[in-house]
């Protein structure tokens, strides 16, 4: 949980640092664990859509957002 929190804090400082993966959805990878955050930016709001497990098949999250 601490790594996800650290990753979230980094996003609040640099929200546009994550690459766009689909439409307006961006991704930020966590460093110590195989997880990534999927998020969008709307004005001054940062919305985390999912915490995805990177060990699962690619794109499994698309129908869940």
* Ranges of each domain in the chain: 2-58
Mean pLDDT (whole number) for 16-40? 90
User: What are the tokens at 34?
Assistant: 């195989």
pLDDT of residue 22: 87
d(CA 58, CA 42): 25
Which residues make Cβ contacts (< 8 Å) with residue 52, sequence separation at least 6? 35, 36, 37, 38, 60, 61
Q: What is the pLDDT of residues 31-52, one digit of tens each?
A: 888 888 999 999 889 999 888 8
pTM value? 0.77
d(CA 48, CA 8): 9
Report which of residues 65 and 26 the model is more confident about.
26
Confidence class for position 55, pLDDT limits 50, 70, 90: confident
What is the C-alpha separation between 60 and 6, in angstroms, rounded? Answer: 24
């Amino acid at each position: 949980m601490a790594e996800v929190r650290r990753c979230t804090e980094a996003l609040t400082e640099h929200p546009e640092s994550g690459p766009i993966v689909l439409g307006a959805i961006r991704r930020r990878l966590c460093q110590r664990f195989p997880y990534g955050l999927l998020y969008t930016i709307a004005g001054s709001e940062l919305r985390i859509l999912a915490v995805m497990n990177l060990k699962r098949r690619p794109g499994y999250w698309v129908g869940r957002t």
